[in-house]
Structure 1
Amino acid sequence: MQAVFLRLTEAFLVNNVRLFVLTLVFAIPLGLLISMGSMSRVKPLAWLIKTFVWIIRGTPLMLQILIIYFGPGLMEMAFHWPRGSAGRMVAAVVAFALNYACYFSEIYRGGIQGIPPGQKEAGEVLGMTRGQIFFKVTLLQLVKRILPPMGNEIITLVKDTALANYISVIDVIMTAKEYTSAGLIWPLFATAIYFLAFVGILTLLFGWAEKKLSYFK
């Protein structure tokens, strides 16, 4: 039993948690860039980015993972993912980062557009630059507005990491399924506990952060 727990823990930490962390590292700043592009005054650029976001949000993440991983080989492209587990993980990170960046971009856009324009105008009257207005006036209010929906998406990401096993990334669920073929059911329940514990920790962290930012009410 101890050996099974060790394998499950290793699979969860090495693949599920690593995929979760890497996705956030790339998707959070990329989502902000995408949101800025979708609000661009350059209409063709804004239309192109909005179309891309619509496609990503309108198709299943599982399908995107499969296309991104198998696509280069099936289309006989010069580019290929690295061989073995490293290549599968890189492809999964790319797919997850693009998917969640598009969802984050809509959250960013709603948060930015929800801030009263009078505050920006007041900053301009005071002689502040656009950068100063964004970082000193808009950003903190933006964080307060987007924290609840971002928290929901990030918690969903924890569970979505299991989709990476469709390209044979050996995550905790795939590891648990190996033991079901041997007649063991408890590894599946143990897997649920890993996800519940991780989600519980994130829920507490987001609740604490919302209380810290409550002074903007």
Structure 2
Amino acid sequence: MLTQEQVLGIVEGTQRTLLIAGVSVLFGILLGIVIALFKISRSKALNGLAWFYVWIFRGTPMLMQLFVFYYALPLFTYDVFGVSLRIPALLAAFIAFSLNSAAYLSEIFRGAIQSIDKGQMEAAKALGMSYYQAMFKIIIPQSYRRLIPPLGNELITLVKDTSLVASISLFDLLRTVQVMNNSSGEWVYFIYAGVIYLFVTSIIQLVFDKLEKKYSVYE
């Protein structure tokens, strides 16, 4: 049986897991939309910048990106500026996961936007709308349903990938039960963590399935 202290530890670890995933997907959505618009723009400079961003963050391991912001950044700033800039572990996790999520979400947004009939953009321009007015008022709202399944998958992936924060000494759910296992030698703590992960990801899947059905009536 779990002691009160262990229960509180697991609750806190779960809250930190959900916090990192939630913040990361929120900022990932905002930045991902911008990157997607850059990638489909007619500007070669913006297109190239977006391509480079996605290439970097999709082509390197998530763990390495986490290490860069937590371990490498202080060394880099010290070498270049003579001042070691060390950011808190939780903030490093927010930044790394948000930037990584944005790279994947930008491709999802780009695909959804480009799947909308080009006649929609032409009609919007005929009504006197600018490119960005047409994009945010006409095109993007029509792509909502097509975004829902991959967005749910990305959030589920983020929830599971937060276990990597143990490498920078953050106590998420998995790190918490690992410490309990090391101190007691009991394997059952991993079962508790597994049940919580399954519960959370199942709730996310259920919510996004309902959203998909709700918006499918507009297709």
TM-score (norm 1): 0.91
Alignment-mate amino acid for residue 59 of structure 2? G
Distance 2:137 2:27 in 1: 24
> Once the two structures are aligned, what percentage of the paired residues are identical?
36
Distance 1:128 1:40 in 2: 16
**Pairwise mapping of residues 112-191 of structure 1 onto structure 2 (< 5 A)?**
112-181=113-182, 182-191=184-193
Does structure 1 conserve the Cα–Cα contact (< 8 Å) formed by 2:57 and 2:100?
Answer: yes
The amino acid across from 1:39 in the alignment is I
CA RMSD, Structure 1 to Structure 2 (Å): 1.6
- CA–CA separation in structure 1 for the residues paired with 2:36 and 2:140: 14
**Partners of 2:84 and 2:149 in 1: how far apart?**
39
Cα contact 2:163–2:174 (8 A) shared by 1: yes
Q: Deviations over 1:21-51 (max 9, x none)?
A: 2112211101111111122222123112201
Structure 2 residues not aligned, in runs of 5+: none
State the secondary structure of the residue aligned to 2:116: coil
The residue identity in structure 2 corresponding to 1:66 is F
CA distance in 1 between counterparts of 2:179 and 2:84 reads 33
What is the identity, as a one-letter code, of the residue corresponding to 1:35? A
Runs of 4+ residues over 4 Å off in structure 1:
none
Would the aligned equivalents of 1:81 and 1:91 in 2 still touch at CA under 8 Å? no
Q: Give the partner amino acid of 1:69.
A: Y
TM-score, scaled to structure 2? 0.91
Deviation at 1:208, TM superposition (A): 0.8
Q: 1:79 to 1:108 in 2, by over 3 A?
A: farther
* Worse overlay, 148-157 or 2-11: 2-11
Mapped partners of 1:21, 1:209: distance in 2: 18
CA change 1:44–1:136 in 2 (3 A) is closer
How many residues matched? 212
1:180, 1:19 → 2: CA distance? 23
C-alpha separation in 1, matches of 2:41 and 2:124 = 21
